[in-house]
Amino acid sequence: MTIKEAQQQVDHWITTVGIRYFSELTNMTILTEEIGELARIMARKYGDQSFKESDKKYNLPDEMADVLWVLICLANQTGVDLTEALEKNFEKKDIRDANRHQSNEKLK
C-alpha cells in the first residue's frame, strides 16, 4: 500500500464506518495518547522498565499502526499530501544533513 492509498483508505473508513472525523484538536490529543501507548511499550521492551500485567495487552506493531492512523487522519483533515510532504522532507535532510552524520564522532 502506498501512502496515498493509505490516506484514501483511512478517509473512506472514517467517512463511512466512522461517520466523520473528530476535530483536529481532538485528533491531536488522540495522537499524543497513542504515542504515549507506544512509548510505554518501548520503555518496557527496550528500556529499563519491566512489564506490568496491564501492559501485556499492548502490541508494538498495533500501537505503531494506531499512531500512523491518527497521523493520516490529521493529514487528511488539514489537506496534507503525506507522500509529497515526505519527499520534501527527504530533500531538506539531503541538503541540511549531507555531511552531518558522517562527521559525527559519536556515530563512529
* Geometric angle at alpha carbon 78, from 5 and 37, rounded to 5°: 75
Percent of the chain with pLDDT over 70: 100
* Geometric angle at alpha carbon 27, from 26 and 33, rounded to 5°: 95
Cell numbers standing for residue 82: 503525506
Alpha-helix runs per DSSP H in 17-108: 24-45, 60-78, 82-96
Distance, CA of 71 to CA of 77 (rounded, Å): 10
Q: Was domain 3-107 assigned CATH 1.10.287.1080?
A: yes
Residue 102 pLDDT: 85
pLDDT digits (tens, 9 = 90+) for 20-34: 999 999 999 999 999
pLDDT digits (tens, 9 = 90+) for 38-68: 999 999 999 999 988 877 788 999 999 999 9
pTM for the full predicted model: 0.89
